[in-house]
Chain A
């Protein structure tokens, strides 16, 4: 276990260092520099040196320090991703399990196919349409809704981006769950355990379930990628001010420093999710080993 942890820690550190280099390369695009490859490499080295000193530079749009602008925006995105992740688990785990069981699986397979084939921005717009016409929520996809709204309305406005992100997460969660369940079903130990006198329920609970859950948590990095992508779309569609929305604006206005730092943050979140997921998966898989 100790060597496994050490390996995962090394992977995390190497990944984060790689993301720092990528961020420095992107950030150097916006820095005044000499001509040619050497000029660019010097600019990258300069950015790396600044990063090492904790200087993330300034936003070219607002002129504010980049960390300050990011600090204002990232909590909103992290909250959206966390709430979406919660919803993804609440919806995706039962959906994945239901989709894994015999006749139900066949019945809902076409529905799952259509859901997973729907681009997220289409799903977001459809949700907004339903919310406006069926629930009469004060949602707008064209202009930000004013700040002077009642607590009920504030909840309704906040709910749609969360549902959109949760929808994307749930699609990945159920796929990961079905994938890990189909892999766990192939274990050759099942017949041996039956011969030892264990009931089907005991085998499922003690050996299959931990493997299925291990497969799910091992996909934490992919789930995080889906949630972050969804956050970009949800913040854009529902005019929610966050880091993902800032990224789109930063690229559009060629603010490469801000772009680099947001990409770095997102890559770190993915690496952290992968790291935590691998460790949890390893612990669960050891628990379910026959």
Chain B
């Protein structure tokens, strides 16, 4: 059996099931995040000096950290913080990347190519470094916006390159009397109708990783607010002796990214 033959696309049903699992996972995480204040056993940041670095037990299912904070509660609050920020960042990446790319590709060819060139330069810099730069230029409060803007150039390039800029169809359509805005609206609706869910989930996965990594490096959430990246960074000092301090927030982060990747359909050898 050849590699080529075996790499044919999966049956649509199995692909739908995988995506469905991803969306269900994201839905469950969204419900958990929305109810985090009720589910959590303690408010965010509540320390108990008598329970420092306790291993997971019935009292503290995820254990406690160096300050005696219940890690289950902290992970829930951190997940809420990460999820909310990542959602906003993903929205920015979709608008400034995918949507802008799809629109720019339909501008007059010289202008379209000029914009593609500028975005291509930005896309040649790792998104993580762009995020850190934008946060450094502004403030940590703007980390979600920075992560979304940093993810946008790659999304722009991907969306732009999907369109054949040399195609004459818009020219012919305009010659028949269809206004340019109607044509653009129709093209965008056609392009995004099928892909919006996949594009949104892909942006969510990318922004979550960028945002949590920036936080881990000290450029994201600002204490006392803690997202999962900052929780893992704080656990660096203790996790070699108390594994649960990093493992629980890391597991929550991996589950969030995994669900988003599954929902985006990034399992069939799609371009990373």
- A residues with a Cβ closer than 8 A to B are 14-15, 18-19, 21-22, 26, 29, 97, 99-102, 105, 109, 112-114, 116-122, 125-126, 128-129, 132-133, 141-142, 171-172, 175-179, 181-182, 184-187, 190, 200, 203-204, 208, 212, 219, 221-222, 225-226, 228-229, 232-233, 236, 247-248, 251-252, 254, 259, 263, 266-267, 270-271, 274
Contacts and interface: CB of A to CB of B under 8 A. Distances in A.
Contacts of B3: 97, 100-101, 181, 185, 204, 208, 212
Interface of B: 1-9, 117-118, 120-122, 124-129, 132-133, 135-137, 205, 209, 212-213, 216-219, 229, 232, 236-237, 239-240, 243, 246, 250, 253-254, 257-258, 261-262, 266-272
A101 B232 CA distance: 37
Contacts of A125: 232, 236, 239, 246, 250
Contacts of B246: 122, 125
Contacts of B269: 99-100, 175, 177-179, 181-182
A15 to B, nearest CB: 6
> Which of B126, B267, B270 has the most chain A CB atoms closer than 10 A to its own CB?
B126
Chain A interface secondary structure, helix, strand, loop or mixed?
Answer: helix
B128 A109 contact: no
Contacts of B122: 22
B272 A117 contact: no
Contact of A121 (B8, B135, B232, B262): B232
Given A114-B258, A121-B232, A252-B218, A141 B213 contact: no
Contacts of A97: 3
Contacts of B272: 116, 171-172, 175-176, 179, 222, 226
A259 B254 contact: no
A179 B269 CA distance: 4
A105 B6 contact: yes
A66 B69 CA distance: 44
A116 B261 CA distance: 9
B133 A251 contact: yes
Given A101-B1, A182-B9, A252 B127 contact: no
Given A129-B240, A266-B125, A271-B124, A120 B132 contact: no
Nearest to B135: A251
A177 B254 CA distance: 24
A266 B240 contact: no
Nearest to A204: B2
Given A117-B258, A225-B124, A263-B133, 8 more contacts: A15-B120, A100-B7, A101-B1, A113-B267, A119-B229, A119-B253, A179-B272, A259-B133
A278 B261 CA distance: 28
The 5 nearest A-B residue pairs measured at CB = A178-B269, A185-B4, A18-B121, A251-B136, A117-B258
A121 B120 contact: no
Given A18-B118, A29-B137, A229 B128 contact: yes
Given A179-B270, A270-B124, A117 B257 contact: yes
Contact of B121 (A15, A121, A141, A229): A15
A118 B271 CA distance: 17
Which residue among A22, A117, A142 has the maximum number of chain B CB atoms within 10 Å of its CB?
Answer: A117
